[in-house]
Amino acid sequence: MNKRLLGHSGIEVSPLGMGCWAIGGPWQFLDIQAGWGEVDDNESIRAVQHALASGINFFDTAATYGTGHSERIVGQALAGKRDEVVIATKFGFNVDETAKHAIRFETPEQIIANVRAACERSLRNLAMDTIDLYQLHVWDFPKEHAPALLDVLEALVREGKIRYYGWSTDSVENARAFAAGEHCVAVQHDLNVVLDAPEMLALCETLKLASVNRSPLARGALTGKYTKDTVFAPNDVRTDPWAVQNILNPAFDRLEDLRAILTSGGRTLAQGALAWIWARSPVTVPIPGIRTVAQVDDNAGALHFGPLTPDQMRQIDELLGRSVLTY
């Protein structure tokens, strides 16, 4: 597949990114276990390097993931390869690296006041001089405070600390408010074959923003490796009741209905789910969570198949009882 543009930035990224949440190891957000269980750092480094060798040049992490551990692993794995990759990370929470714990700031003003220090910390973790895409991680940040935050981000652009920025949010109105910033080029939001986001995609297409897609495999539910009876480790974020109800179970409920289409042409289920996202909109860039070389091979293998066909996309809309779109 051809590369895709990161919004109106002019930066070309691989159609598939590597989500680096899962390589951060255990950590806690408020009172929720927010990691993906134990990790093997050596395997994580091999996975990042293998992803690059397999054609993936876009890596998405966050200050919260392992409270800095994911950023450090990404930086270590890509040392000497900076010119070959596009690096995205996120900010906006109060991160305690020692306690492996992240909490909310009490006010929007505190979030804004912390941006510069957070950016410097992420640059140190990554061992890099510039962040390509710096994303607000606070999905419900009050949009009326967006102009003040945009001022800080634009200052960081002028100083060369970041190149562009975006917001990780599922709110179309929040995304619209942030897009007023000159260097805002992306929205990160949930999207998968079961969980469509037509209004957000329409906004991204209209405003020339990249649609960076989290949960493209519904946190593993669309891979066929798990069922509703799967018992995840206590320190795995997939034990969170919200994730079970809103991401995992909807995918489990419809997976068998979609299996024949998603596995067409010899694809794995994961490859078919990614193929749906690419066919859904030309601005999409899915970032499935990856932490092993085997997962890299499965996900990167989707690049060889490319998007689903328009007819297959219409069949899926019909199966799921959605409005049948024109593809």
Three-class secondary structure of residue 218 per DSSP: helix
Regions of the chain where pLDDT drops below 50: none
Q: What is the model's pLDDT at position 15? A: 98
pLDDT, tens digit, for every residue of 173-216? 999 999 999 999 999 999 999 999 999 999 999 999 999 999 99
Give the CA distances from residue 192 to residues 56, 129, 160, 211, 213, in Å, rounded to whole numbers and listed in that order. Answer: 19, 33, 34, 12, 8
Rounded to whole angstroms, the Cα distance separating 119 from 291 reads 25
Give the CA distances from residue 320 to residues 71, 115, 119, 124, 256, in Å, rounded to whole numbers and listed in that order. Answer: 38, 42, 42, 46, 12
Give the CA distances from residue 264 to residues 222, 297, 307, 309, in Å, rounded to whole numbers and listed in that order. Answer: 15, 18, 11, 10
CA dihedral angle for residue 235, residue 239, residue 241, residue 242, rounded to 10 degrees: 80
Domains, the chain, in order of start with CATH, read 11-319 (3.20.20.100)
Is the pTM for the entire model greater than 0.95? yes
Rounded to whole angstroms, the Cα distance separating 67 from 287 reads 20
CB 304 within 8 A of CB 272: no
pLDDT, tens digit, for every residue of 7-59? 999 999 999 999 999 999 999 999 999 999 999 999 999 999 999 999 999 99
Cβ neighbours for 133, distance < 8 A, ≥ 6 positions apart: 6, 60, 86, 87, 88, 89, 162, 163, 164, 165, 166, 185, 186
User: What residue has token string 């981000």?
Assistant: 153
Give the CA distances from residue 162 to residues 148, 153, 266, 308, in Å, rounded to whole numbers and listed in that order. Answer: 17, 8, 41, 35
